[in-house]
């Protein structure tokens, strides 16, 4: 059996499907929404190639509406790898941004620099699990999977090696699906309601499984891995 923070994963597939059906939740912590960041897709030229991307997020104070597929004013360019119901919103901790500011020696990095929609003050990947619920303003979200960026993160940060560096850093952040549409604004309190099902796994654990599996040459997308582990929402 795998408990939160445990090391054994061989029983994950058998019972992790209960995560999204379980009503066993408890209030884990409260924190603040520091920034809401949105962007519409735009075309940039990279190495002579035209690339459409919505990664250049800019902060907006709000209030803004949250719908099932988007935050008001935000769109994804490539729906094959971003967006959709289970990747409607991307959340990232400001602690992670601070880490990258120091690691990369980049004091220009701020809210939205990593393409996140929600910049929050805490919520490390080790403390967030698949199926956890976040209540912000009048909206409710559920954690679905870590974020594994595509090459466009390198374009945004002007570092071709950034995808590899990002994954090695182990600070993925996480995608959210929208359980309840509503309105949010920067400064809102975030209520983190942890799924107390002992079979859930943290975002950090999921990311480690993903990296280990792909290191063997058995390439798999994060969405496919969620299905393999029985963690895909239903």
Higher pLDDT, 12 or 75: 75
Q: What is the count of structural domains for the chain?
A: 1
Residue 13 lies in a domain: no
Report if residue 40 sits inside a domain.
Answer: yes
| 229 in any annotated domain | no
Written as six digits, the tokens of 113 are 């620099």
Asked if residue 20 belongs to a domain, the reply is no
Identify the CATH number of the domain in which residue 49 sits.
Answer: 2.40.33.20
Q: What is the pLDDT of residues 154-198, one digit of tens each?
A: 999 999 999 999 999 999 999 999 999 999 999 999 999 998 778
Alpha helices, DSSP H, located in the chain: 12-15, 94-103, 152-157, 162-169, 203-215, 222-228
19 within some domain: no
Residue 216 inside a domain? The answer is no
Domain region containing 77: 26-197
Indicate whether 48 belongs to any domain.
yes
Domain membership flag for residue 212: no
Is residue 52 a contact partner of residue 42, using CB atoms and an 8 Å limit? yes
Segment 125-137, tens digit of pLDDT: 999 999 999 999 9
19 or 140: whose pLDDT is higher?
140
- pTM beyond 0.85: the answer is no
Tell me whether strands 189-195 and 133-136 are parallel, antiparallel or unpaired. Answer: antiparallel
Dihedral sign of CA atoms 188, 97, 87, 79 in order:
positive
Round to whole Å and give the CA distance between 35 and 51.
26
């Amino acid at each position: 059996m795998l408990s939160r923070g445990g090391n054994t994963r061989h029983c994950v597939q058998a019972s992790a499907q209960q995560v999204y059906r379980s009503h066993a939740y408890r209030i884990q912590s409260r924190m603040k929404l520091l920034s809401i960041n949105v962007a519409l897709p735009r075309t940039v030229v990279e190495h002579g190639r035209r690339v459409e991307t919505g990664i250049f997020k800019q902060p907006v104070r709000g209030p803004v509406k949250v719908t099932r597929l988007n935050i008001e004013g935000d769109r994804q360019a490539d729906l094959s790898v971003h967006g959709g119901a289970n990747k409607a919103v991307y959340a990232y901790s400001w602690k992670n941004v601070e880490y990258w500011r120091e690691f990369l020696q980049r004091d220009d990095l701020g809210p939205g620099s990593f393409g996140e929609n929600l910049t929050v003050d805490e919520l490390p990947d080790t403390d967030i699990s698949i199926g956890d619920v976040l209540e912000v303003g009048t909206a409710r979200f559920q954690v679905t999977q870590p974020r594994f960026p595509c090459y466009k993160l390198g374009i945004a940060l002007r570092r071709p090696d950034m995808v590899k560096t990002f994954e090695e850093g182990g600070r993925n952040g996480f995608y959210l699906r929208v359980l309840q549409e509503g309105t949010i604004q920067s400064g809102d309190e975030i209520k983190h309601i942890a799924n107390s099902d002992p079979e859930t796994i943290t975002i950090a654990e999921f990311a480690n499984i993903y990296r280990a599996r792909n290191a063997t040459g058995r390439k798999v997308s994060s969405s496919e891995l969620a299905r393999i582990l029985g963690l895909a929402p239903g």
